[in-house]
Amino acid sequence: MVDTRILIVDDEVEFASTLAERLELRGYRASSANCAETALALILASPPHVVILDIQMPDLNGLETLETIKEIHPEIEVILLTGYGSINSGIQGIVQGAFDFLMKPVSMTTLLKKIKQARQKTLEA
Amino acid sequence: MNDIRKRLATLLLKKVDAASGDSATLQSRYKQFRVSLLVAITLIAMLPATAISVFGYFQYLVRLEKQELQHLSWHLEDSSAKLSALVNSSLQSGNGLPDAVTLQQVAGTNNPQTDSFIVDVKGQLQDPSTSFAPKEIQFPMDLLIPGDEQKTFAEKKPWGVGVTLYGITSLDHTPWFLILVKDGPMDKGEWMNFQLTLLVIFILCFSAGMFIIFQLVNILTSRIRESDANRMGLLSDAEHSNKLVSIGRLAAGVAHEINNPLAVIDQKAGLIEDLIDMSSEFPHKEKVDRSIVGIHDAVQRCKIITLRLLNFARKMDTRIEHIDLNDLLYEVICFLEKEAIHHQIQLDLQFDRELPQIESDRGQLQQIFLNILNNAIDAVVNDGVITICSSRVDEDRIMVSVKDTGSGMDPETLKHIFDPFFTTKETGKGTGLGLSITYSLVKRLRGDILAENNDNKGMCFTVTLPVRSQVVING
């Protein structure tokens, strides 16, 4: 598998870190951030290929973060994680350039498939 | 301002029409009502007044009868003496009876109301009468009991209303009698009849009038009761809806809160699973594996439960339509106008007439502004002004502001104003849900709401709403 860097952005610390760990076990280079500022800082420092972004985060509107990511590194593919109430935001996100959105709770298999597809896109770009 | 009131009235009328048929029948109904009321009042007020004055007049006349008879009696005495002397002297001088004119003059009956005759014991007229009495009068002499010096009585007129007063006396030293006739007032019997008739008419009219008024009052009060019940119904519907929305919001909040730790459990279990799969055999490996499966299942069950909760919260569907916000605000104002008038609160409306239609959910908008207005009315308590302005902010947004002249709020309290169950009212009054629901509704409609203190006095709530609803998928 090709080298893939993934950044997980979710304010639920345990969730993000565990997910990152599980991805690492599957051969990805995954790190996690718990707020938009940290995320953006990490993206600037070491841009990942795929960002998994939770858009239920309260502190900064997830879609705004998406917009910023797309501004600074448009080649990064973003997979949005939405909750029950934010499906609209998911659709909005796609309009704003996200690769796709998945509803939480997300199954590992689905997520892995999406990551593969997103990474494929970055390689084609 | 006036044409806004006119529009308000038209809208009110439209609402009433919608409830009770078309405008024409409504107008005619109110006309009938007014006419009936006037008739009833006339019957009740005018007739007794007339009756009383007529009564009074005739009462006067009846009293007069007694007086008249008395006067007649004196007149009779007086005339009798004079006439006796005259007749005697005339006879003695050999001239026969004096002529009628002289007789009348002496008797003092040379006027249209009275007449006098001299009759013999058989009642035959001795001289012709010149007044209103018929030419030949056969006087019923049996009325005069022998021995009576003088007698006066009243007799009902054979024609017309009233009585004729008669007085009869014997002329001294002559075989003749003097009869005085006078036009008298109403006789007692007639008078009683008249009274009775009048009384009956009076009672009938009064009863009819009272009956009509009673019915009208009933109709009126039942209408008022109806419209009050309607209003109460609407308000309690709104209250009920508020409660449902609050439960929904709570449920949604709980569901969201739980989903996060659930996700963590799920991931952690997954991680354990991954690690187990990667490691070689160790004691209890199978059991651990099965436990993980158990954890996953339990998590699944929790997810189903939270989904159900969230579904319940979403039962309030958002139905998007084109809405004229000014009209909607009028409707909401209609619901609360009575409340405001009752507390002597003036409503100052400053609507942008060019306000574009917006795409939004009618029910939720009504809820939002009902809550805000209710809050403003409560804040003012009595004697104040609530100013409602609508305007366009920019191409994509419109704004509605509600300013009150209440006591305002200190910055600390202001921070919590949209918190659920937060209220500054005493226990039992106010649930503390209104504004928190308003907040979530505004957010759901992709708008913004701001609460701040006015410069001079009171608070101002500003709601900003998008002109176009964005993606039309429930969520």
Supply the pTM of this predicted model. Answer: 0.43
pLDDT of residue B426: 67
> CA of B128: how far to CAs of B88, B99, B132, B143, in Å?
19, 9, 12, 21
Q: How would you write the pLDDT of chain B (475 residues) with one tens digit per residue? A: 455 555 655 555 555 545 544 456 666 777 777 788 788 777 777 777 777 777 777 777 667 777 788 887 888 788 878 888 887 887 788 777 777 677 777 777 777 677 777 776 666 666 655 444 454 455 666 655 555 567 777 776 766 667 777 778 777 777 777 777 777 766 667 767 777 887 888 888 888 888 888 888 888 888 877 777 777 766 776 777 777 777 777 777 777 788 888 889 999 999 999 999 888 888 888 889 899 999 988 888 888 777 777 766 665 556 788 889 998 898 888 878 877 888 888 899 999 888 888 988 887 888 889 889 988 888 888 888 999 999 999 888 999 999 999 888 888 888 888 876 677 776 656 656 678 778 888 888 889 999 999 877 889 999 999 998 765 444 3
Cβ-based contacts of B466 with chain A (< 8 Å): none
Rounded to an integer, what distance in angstroms lies between the CA atom of residue B384 and that of residue B314?
Answer: 38
The token pair that represents B408 in the structure block: 């305002």
Residues of A in contact with B471 (CB under 8 A): 88, 91-92
For the cut 90, the answer to whether the pLDDT of residue A32 exceeds it is: yes
Cβ–Cβ of B470/A92 closer than 8 Å? yes
A70 touches chain B (CB under 8 A): no
Q: Are A10 and A32 in contact (CB under 8 A)?
A: yes
Q: In chain B, what are the helix, strand and coil shares in percent, each to the nearest 5?
A: 55, 15, 25
Task: Using the predicted structure, report yes or no on whether residue A42 has a pLDDT greater than 50.
Answer: yes
The complex's ipTM works out to 0.87
**Cβ–Cβ < 8 Å for B322, B264:** no
Residue of A nearest to B255 (CA): A84
- Bridge-based pairing of strands B163-170 and B177-184 is antiparallel
For residue A121, is pLDDT > 60? Answer: yes
Rounded percentage of chain A residues whose pLDDT exceeds 70: 93
Task: Check residue B126 and give its pLDDT.
Answer: 63
Cβ–Cβ of A86/B255 closer than 8 Å?
no
User: Are A22 and B270 an interchain contact pair (Cβ–Cβ within 8 Å)?
Assistant: yes
Q: Number of C-alpha atoms within 13 angstroms, CB side, residue B225?
A: 6
CB B349 within 8 A of CB B312: no
Higher per-residue pLDDT: A46 or B312: A46
